[in-house]
Amino acid sequence: MSPLPLHSARWLINPRYKPAGNSSNDDAWDEITSWPGYAATPLVALPELARDLDVGGIFYKDEGGRFGLGSFKALGGAYAVLRMLQRTITAQTGETPSATQLRAKSHPGITSSITVTTATDGNHGRSVAWGASQFGCRAVIYIPADCSPAREAALAALNAEVVRIDGGYDDAVARCAGDAAENRRTVISDTSWDGYRDIPREVTQGYRVMAEEALRQMPGGAPPPGGAPPSHIFIQGGVGALPAAICGHFSGLPAKPRVIVVEPEGAACLYASAKAGTASAAPDPVYSVMAGLNCGSASPIAWEILDRNAFAFMTIPDESAGDCMKLLADGSLGGRPIIAGESAVAGLAALISAAHGARTPLGLGPDSQILLFGTEGATDPEIYAKMVGSLPIKRE
């Protein structure tokens, strides 16, 4: 096994931690698992890493194959597009078409007149654009100045109009919202603001499908569906929608996992929120090589969940991303080689650092069962090659 990369990391135990139960998410589960091409993504055990870190087990949820879009984001944006179109058609006709009917162009006069829009570093916008192409509406996607050409091309390939703005992700969010108001477009965002909460909540509901899959795949529990819950979850931060989805899903269990939220040290809005006790922005300048986590402001509705349900917050340096991508790629952690994008490995990097420097405060021990979410594959092969040293090899 390759030597583990040890990088400095900050951690903060949440003083307001008081997890509460949360409602089920049967609607999103029933809907998304019925879509063409649906398959549960694999949960890969990493036994060599577990032995090295002296914990009971480590499991990595590999989202690289999700609906052919390369990331867990496929679950959220497309689901929210569907729900918005269904509400609109119901209001106009009294009918609520199914996803299958919308794919068959059941209401083209209505759907073709609707434009959805969002800001993205790549993956969320791809999900929204895919949902628009599936269900018959148009999509306008805003990307920050440093979004890679490959990720822009992936959006265009889904027939989305792509607008590159002069600024970062948060600037793209603001521009998208302003243009939507002027042009009567519907914003499908995973971040929230005053007066805009329902659609981000639906995006988050879609993400919970991934959490339910992982719970059913964990070993040691009741016969399927229903594995034993993990003791710890290290999960990427972003604006907070993903960790809020994970907290919301797992907090309903009698044995609640400790959820540790992980961010790049250069884009740590949730860590800043934990220190301030309210949804906050990361200090300027905001930048991380982990493009999907390069977010400067916490989502208020996500923070409402994280404020009580996240056990701790951690930040990691950018250089840890490439090191962990390489470890997964060479298969030295056990299991099999895994193709992971730069935003997929934040939880893994934080776990390695925590196991060497924060075991006691985080409650890590030889019986700990740890769940990691590998949120994307190589969504930009060129960036992957630069960070790993070789192009991703497609699995058969």
Sorted by where each starts, the structural domains of the chain and their CATH numbers stand as: 10-72+208-388 (3.40.50.1100), 77-189 (3.40.50.1100)
Write a three-state SS string for the chain: CCCCCCCCCEEEECCCCCCCCCCCCHHHHHHHCCCCCCCCCCEEECHHHHHHHCCCEEEEEECCCHHHCCEHHHHCHHHHHHHHHHHHHHHHHCCCCCHHHHHCCCCHHHHCCCEEEEECCCHHHHHHHHHHHHHCCEEEEEECCCCCHHHHHHHHCCCCEEEECCCCHHHHHHHHHHHHHHHCCEECCCCCECCECHHHHHHHHHHHHHHHHHHHHCCCCCCCCCCCCCCEEEEECCCCHHHHHHHHHHCCCCCCCEEEEEEECCCCHHHHHHHHCCCCECCCCCCCCCHHHCCCECCHHHHHHHHHHCCEEEEECCHHHHHHHHHHHCCCCCCCCCCCCCCCCHHHHHHHHHHHHCHHHHCCCCCCEEEEEECECCCCHHHHHHHHCCCCCCCC
pLDDT average, residue stretch 339-362: 97
Computed over every residue of the chain, the mean pLDDT equals 94
Maximum separation of any 2 CA atoms in the chain, in Å: 62
Question: Would the pTM count as exceeding 0.85?
Answer: yes
The pLDDT value given to residue 337 = 94
Say whether pLDDT at 164 is over 70: yes
Say whether pLDDT at 222 is over 90: no
Spatial contact of 327 and 297, defined as CB atoms under 8 Å apart: no
Give catalytic residues, as residue numbers: 73, 121
pLDDT average, residue stretch 313-341: 94
Spatial contact of 369 and 230, defined as CB atoms under 8 Å apart: yes
Mind listing the pLDDT tens digit for each residue in 188-200? 999 999 999 999 9
Say whether pLDDT at 45 is over 80: yes
The pLDDT value given to residue 2 = 55
pLDDT average, residue stretch 232-244: 98
Say whether pLDDT at 395 is over 60: no
The pLDDT confidence band at residue 334, using thresholds 50, 70 and 90, is: confident
Say whether pLDDT at 332 is over 90: no
- The span from the CA of 57 to the CA of 143, in Å, is 38
Mind listing the pLDDT tens digit for each residue in 303-315? 999 999 999 999 9
Edge-to-edge strands, sheet with 138-143: 161-164, 138-143, 115-119, 186-187
The pLDDT confidence band at residue 30, using thresholds 50, 70 and 90, is: very high
Say whether pLDDT at 396 is over 50: no
pLDDT average, residue stretch 219-244: 87
Say whether pLDDT at 107 is over 50: yes
The pLDDT confidence band at residue 23, using thresholds 50, 70 and 90, is: low
pLDDT average, residue stretch 102-109: 98
The pLDDT value given to residue 64 = 97
pLDDT average, residue stretch 54-76: 97
